[in-house]
Amino acid sequence: MENVGTDIRALNEIINKESAFIELLNMELGKSIIGQKNMTDKLILALLAQGHVLLEGVPGLAKTLAIKSLAQAIHADFNRIQFTPDLLPADILGTMIYNQKDGDFKIKKGPIFSNFILADEINRAPAKVQSALLEAMQERQVTIGDTTHKLAQPFLVLATQNPIEQEGTYPLPEAQVDRFMLKVVVSYPKKDEEKLIIRQNTQKEDIQIKPVVTTDDIIRAREAVRQVYMDEKIEQYIIDIVFATRFPSEYKLDKMKNLISYGASPRASINLALASKAYAFMKRRGYVIPEDVRAICYDVMRHRIGLTYEAEAENITSEDIITEMLNVVEVP
């Protein structure tokens, strides 16, 4: 038992050293983004846990600015793709172009070949385009013609969708939404925050974000995140939370049975574990505690629970179901 304690102390020291840049990153992002701490934290968390983020929020909540600032602070490449109904997969991935001079085909790479991709209003493009992006997210590689190209590392896709406009949109199928590690709901800023936003945008010149972290630092931090210690009791806690969405009756949640059409997939368990480790890393801790799991549970699970018509008729959201489950599932 003493050995485990010694190992965790050593691990804590490593994590403390490796996670020092988080503070610098937060300070730099704080220059341009006011009042969206939850969103910027979740972006950093996804980056550390090698996941992608689906952001839902009305226009004008600094979603584009957040990922652009993050790319600048990390000295990484950034591309923004505006999704529209006439977009084609080749517009994202790239295509083969015939070169008359040489008499052969050359590959013209698309905007997907970058560290940070902002897929703006992903639900405005048809399924073929959505699936091309999601394949790149999953495989972290792209095939153009006969050649397969690896994507740059780190690689983070931030997709946004506007929840209020449904006209001319193609909702993401459940299986594709599942590819996103986190679904973050972005809310309006508070009054005093909005006052600061007005001042910042009407008085000062453009704010310059300085690169404070390199992509190598991020790749090293990702390796450290995987080393974060997770006790078997925490693993069991994660499994219980996920299984409670599949078999609510086994967890004395009989009333949930008619509200859930399908439960969370094994991807939820994997992502919940990885995101918990990344959350502990951001808190500069070498081990996961139940509070880490609870802190990121909503973002990992909210898009993975299917609701029945009955739930929708009663205005019950997936967040309500997660809250109920976290209240019932035994904390280790």
Among 216, 249, 273, give the residue marking a domain's end.
Answer: 216
Among 216, 243, 272, give the residue marking a domain's end.
Answer: 216
Same domain, 37 and 116: yes
Same domain, 187 and 318: no
Longest dimension (CA), the chain: 72
> Hey, what amino acid is at 323?
T
Model confidence pLDDT, tens digit, residues 294-331: 999 999 999 998 888 988 888 888 889 899 889 988 88
Q: State yes or no: cis peptide before 154, omega within 30 of 0.
A: yes
**pLDDT, mean over the chain:** 85
Residue 225 maps to a domain: no
Size of the chain in residues: 332
Task: Give the domain CATH number at 315.
Answer: 1.10.8.80
Task: Give the domain CATH number at 199.
Answer: 3.40.50.300
Residue 18 maps to a domain: yes
Same domain, 239 and 180: no
Same domain, 176 and 255: no
CA 117, CA 214: separation in Å to the nearest integer? 17
Same domain, 279 and 210: no
Nearest to 300 by CA among 117, 62, 53, 38: 53
Same domain, 244 and 168: no
Residues 6+ apart with CB under 8 A from 154: 47, 50, 74, 76, 115, 215, 218, 219, 222
Residue 224 maps to a domain: no
Residue 221 maps to a domain: no
The structural domain count of the chain equals 2
Same domain, 174 and 238: no
- Could you tell me the residue range of the domain that residue 152 belongs to? 2-216
Same domain, 58 and 205: yes
The pLDDT value recorded for residue 204 is 63
Same domain, 183 and 245: no
Model confidence pLDDT, tens digit, residues 242-300: 999 998 888 888 888 888 888 888 999 999 999 999 999 999 888 899 999 999 999 99
Same domain, 46 and 179: yes
Same domain, 239 and 266: yes
Residue 319 maps to a domain: yes
Mean pLDDT of 161-165: 71
Among 183, 216, 249, give the residue marking a domain's end.
Answer: 216
Question: pTM here?
Answer: 0.87
Nearest to 277 by CA among 39, 10, 50: 50
C-alpha dihedral (132, 134, 136, 138), degrees to nearest 10: -150
Residue 53 maps to a domain: yes
Same domain, 190 and 77: yes
The rounded percent of the chain whose pLDDT value lies above 90 is: 18
